[in-house]
């Protein structure tokens, strides 16, 4: 039945096999559009049905008809047939019945100038997915639901640009090396082919990434040397040569990447769709609310937000135009200057005319609403039903890539809002401040996604994900939770990420994030990071803020004390005392801290000044005891006697006498001598004489010889009293 010449209309061009009740059946579609059902056991054609729409003339198209199958939830066979004609090509989804008839579920026309690459029935035939090649050679993916007569088109990631714009903050080596080895962009095969084509006759390259990176640097370095070795070039000319050499290799990588990325087929996993390519695969996910408005035209109403989005899309100058704005965000410089320059470079009249079409009063509330959505990373997330936890390395990469895509769309919206506000000549300063703050937070989140996409970053992320339980059964939900934890505007959750990065010694990540999105939480963690990396003076510059309350200084003093920075603790205490009110409850503690650290550093006179200034009598007495002990142990007896002890002389005498009585013989003699000298200095000779006697009695001990010696001293002292 299948033998015949290719020009015969009844020759099958596509077929599928299916087992029904332990008997194999074959379903084929012929050139004339007839769907035939065959019994393989009997070798008999059971039915031949024309399911294609009756459009005349039916001239075959450039492709053949295609048939695919699936099984619905009831276990029944469902067939999808693509009828390719020169005009009115369409897809029909049918369910065969036992009486050799068919129940048509859906019939949908396809677009002209689109060649089918692959068709797939998903969700038991409720969805039809197709991969197409357009007339311009680009890949397109569409899907249609049951009972729908239109296609929904998938927004694909744009291919990488053939060249990268120069970045004044990076040299071409770093700029292009980061781009070439960015995770998920070029395969090692692409880079190897680009190297081979750029340097003919080179030896076979090692496929490991590190060796390949070295080969790239070596080859481009040799090209640069070959071009500049015979000339004396300025720095600008050398950078231009380096840019050209690196760009040549990068463009080759892009071209090989594009030849390996066209979609070849589709794979349906439980509630998940994969696009199979020559050198990899892609995962299809739903769009969130803001993505659908920008990428899919999801807003079709006439409310304020819809009007605003239409205006923003109309003034979009393109991604490359925002390079200076992105640079200002990364360097944390003024956005006002960068946005103003961008607006001036574009045709201002056209922009103004576009904006004036809409009422400013109508757009202002919409801007506030959009900024609130942008400032809440979870506000526009919609649930999908991915049924597997995304905890593998590929799953984590998917989550990070999803979040980065969402963040980039939000960042684009925020930049458009800034442009719109600048077109209004700064008449809305509050909205400008809000938009600028959101833009900086989005840029910090975008930078973090880029950092986490690298190999080491994925290891850090996997530890954090398992610790916090971020991964869910949904791509968007997982990305939403990760967005919440990485959003600089949510201090509690973001603080947990910052604390995790600090605990895992990821100090570079902490310091860069704190620079990109300064906040109280990140600033405190940055101080921790700087202290742990030995940069205490940088940490001090961050916390020594004029006008801060004493509670802030007390926290910082405790932190610097843990890291053994007494000189900086003293400076913090001094600043805190200057800021404190006379009745501040922290003042006694600050004076005590000043005293203790001066004492530890051997600044005895400064320690005494802090002691004397302490308003708390109990703390003052404790500090006096510590000062006396320290001076005696340091043998600074002259200084001990020279200090004024204003209002504390009685306390000093009692302290010295107590120490003299409670210490051992050697130490007690020192305290008695100090006490004697103190009495003599104060012209109190009677007390001084008694202390001499006590000091002479103290070292003798309680043995027989000691008792005899004490008796002789006592009689001698009594004789001296009588003679006097």
89-144 per-position pLDDT tens digit: 889 999 998 888 888 888 888 888 899 999 999 888 899 999 999 988 888 999 99
pLDDT tens profile 249-308: 999 999 998 887 788 889 887 667 889 987 778 888 888 888 888 876 655 556 777 788
- Tokens read off for 234: 């300025």
Cis peptide before 5 (omega within 30 of 0): no
pTM: 0.74
Nearest to 157 by CA among 474, 529, 516, 406: 406
Residue 44 pLDDT exceeds 90: no
pLDDT tens profile 674-686: 888 887 887 775 6
How many other CB atoms sit within 10 Å of the CB of residue 504? 15
Query: What pLDDT is attached to residue 386?
Result: 36
- Tokens read off for 123: 């969700």
pLDDT tens profile 364-386: 888 888 888 888 876 655 444 33
Scan for tokens 């990821």, then name that residue: 506
- List Cα–Cα distances, 44 to 26, 29, 39, 291, 523, in angstroms: 10, 16, 5, 53, 79
* DSSP structure class, residue 85: B
CATH fold of 12-153: Neuraminidase (2.120.10)
CA 507 vs. chain centroid, Å, equals 14
Residue 181 pLDDT exceeds 80: yes
Residue 469 pLDDT exceeds 70: no
Q: What whole-number percentage of the chain has pLDDT above 70? A: 82
- List Cα–Cα distances, 426 to 243, 368, 429, in angstroms: 38, 15, 6
Q: What is the rounded average pLDDT of the residues 17-27?
A: 90
How many other CB atoms sit within 10 Å of the CB of residue 51? 18
Q: In the chain, how many H helices and how many E strands? A: 28, 15
Q: 95 pairs with which residues across the strands?
A: 103
Nearest to 590 by CA among 628, 551, 647: 551
Residue 578 pLDDT exceeds 60: yes
CATH fold of 529-687: 1.25.40
Does residue 43 or residue 168 have the better pLDDT? Answer: 43
- Tokens read off for 462: 């996997």
- List Cα–Cα distances, 89 to 15, 51, 165, 263, 384, in angstroms: 19, 12, 43, 21, 32
User: Would you place residue 393 in the very low, low, confident or very high pLDDT band (cuts 50, 70, 90)?
Assistant: low
* DSSP structure class, residue 615: S
> Can you tell me the distance from the alpha carbon of 417 to that of 366, in angstroms, rounded to the nearest whole number?
11
How many other CB atoms sit within 10 Å of the CB of residue 170? 13
Strand arrangement, sheet containing 272-277: 263-269, 272-277, 280-284
Ranges of H-type helices in 453-549: 455-468, 475-486, 491-503, 507-516, 520-532, 536-543
Contact 454, 412 (CB under 8 A): no
* DSSP structure class, residue 60: B
Strand arrangement, sheet containing 114-122: 114-122, 127-134, 139-145, 152-153
* DSSP structure class, residue 202: P
What does the CA dihedral 478, 480, 486, 490 come to, rounded to 10 degrees? Answer: -140
> Can you tell me the distance from the alpha carbon of 366 to that of 678, in angstroms, rounded to the nearest whole number?
81
Q: What is the rounded average pLDDT of the residues 63-86?
A: 90
Contact 596, 557 (CB under 8 A): no
Tallying the residues shown for the chain, one arrives at 724
């Amino acid at each position: 039945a299948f033998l015949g010449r290719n020009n015969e209309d009844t020759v099958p061009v596509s077929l599928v096999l299916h087992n029904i009740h332990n008997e194999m059946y074959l379903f084929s579609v012929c050139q004339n559009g007839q769907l035939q059902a065959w019994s393989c056991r009997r070798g008999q054609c059971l039915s031949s049905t024309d399911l294609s729409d009756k459009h005349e003339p039916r001239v075959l198209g450039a492709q053949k008809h295609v048939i695919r199958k699936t099984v619905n939830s009831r276990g029944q066979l469902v067939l999808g047939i693509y009828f390719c004609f020169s005009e009115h090509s369409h897809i029909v989804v049918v369910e065969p019945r036992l009486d050799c008839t068919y129940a048509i579920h859906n019939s949908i026309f396809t677009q002209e100038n689109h060649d089918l690459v692959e068709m797939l029935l998903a969700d038991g035939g409720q969805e039809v997915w197709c991969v197409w090649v357009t007339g311009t050679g680009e890949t397109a993916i569409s899907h249609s639901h049951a009972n729908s007569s239109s296609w929904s088109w998938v927004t694909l990631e744009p291919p990488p640009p053939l060249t990268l714009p120069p970045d004044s903050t990076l040299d071409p080596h770093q700029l292009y090396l980061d781009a070439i080895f960015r995770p998920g962009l070029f395969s090692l095969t692409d880079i190897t082919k680009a190297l081979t084509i750029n340097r003919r006759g080179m030896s076979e390259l090692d496929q490991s990434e590190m060796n390949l990176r070295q080969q790239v640097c070596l080859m481009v370095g040799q090209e640069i040397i070959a071009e500049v070795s015979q000339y004396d070039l300025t720095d600008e000319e050398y950078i231009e040569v380096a840019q050209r050499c690196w760009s040549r290799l990068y463009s080759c990588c892009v071209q090989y990447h594009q030849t390996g990325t066209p979609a070849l087929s589709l794979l349906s996993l439980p509630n998940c769709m994969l696009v199979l390519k020559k050198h990899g695969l892609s995962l299809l996910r739903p769009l969130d609310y803001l993505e659908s408005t920008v990428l899919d035209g999801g807003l079709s109403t006439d409310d304020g937000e819809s009007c605003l989005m239409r205006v923003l899309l109309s003034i979009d100058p393109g991604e490359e135009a925002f390079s200076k704005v992105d640079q200002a965000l990364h360097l944390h410089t003024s956005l006002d200057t960068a946005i103003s320059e961008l607006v001036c470079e574009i045709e201002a009249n056209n922009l103004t005319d576009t904006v004036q079409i809409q009422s400013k009063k109508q757009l202002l509330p919409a801007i506030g609403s959009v900024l609130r959505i942008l400032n809440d990373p979870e506000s526009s997330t919609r649930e999908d039903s991915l049924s597997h936890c995304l905890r593998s390395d590929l799953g984590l990469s998917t989550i990070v890539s999803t979040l980065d895509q969402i963040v980039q769309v939000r960042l684009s919206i925020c930049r458009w809002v800034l442009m719109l506000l600048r077109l209004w000549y700064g008449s809305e300063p509050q909205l400008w401040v809000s938009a600028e703050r959101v833009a900086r937070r989005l840029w910090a989140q975008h930078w973090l996604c880029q950092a986490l996409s690298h190999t080491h970053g994925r290891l850090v992320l996997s530890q954090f994900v398992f610790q916090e339980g971020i991964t869910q059964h949904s791509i968007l939900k997982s990305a939403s939770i990760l967005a919440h934890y990485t959003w600089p505007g949510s201090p509690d959750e973001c603080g947990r990420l910052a604390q995790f990065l600090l605990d895992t010694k990821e100090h570079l990540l902490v310091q860069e994030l704190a620079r990109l999105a300064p906040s109280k939480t990140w600033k405190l963690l940055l101080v921790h990071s700087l202290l742990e990396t030995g940069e205490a003076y940088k940490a001090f510059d961050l916390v020594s803020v004029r006008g801060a309350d004493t509670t802030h200084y007390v926290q910082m003093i405790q932190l610097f004390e843990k890291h053994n920075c007494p000189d900086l603790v003293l400076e913090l205490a001094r600043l805190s005392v200057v800021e404190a009110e006379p009745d501040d409850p922290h003042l006694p503690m600050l004076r005590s801290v000043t005293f203790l650290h001066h004492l530890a550093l051997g600044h005895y006179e400064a320690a005494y000044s802090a002691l004397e200034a302490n308003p708390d009598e109990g703390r003052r007495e404790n500090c006096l005891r510590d000062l006396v002990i320290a001076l005696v142990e340091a043998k600074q007896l002259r200084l001990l006697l020279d200090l004024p002890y204003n209002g504390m002389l009685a306390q000093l005498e009692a302290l010295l006498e107590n120490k003299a009585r409670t210490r051992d013989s050697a130490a007690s003699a020192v305290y008695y001598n100090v006490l004697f000298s103190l009495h003599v200095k104060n012209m109190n000779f009677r007390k001084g004489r008694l202390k001499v006697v006590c000091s002479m009695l103290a070292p003798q001990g309680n043995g027989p010889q000691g008792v005899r010696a004490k008796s002789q001293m006592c009689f001698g002292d009594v004789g001296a009293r009588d003679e006097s």
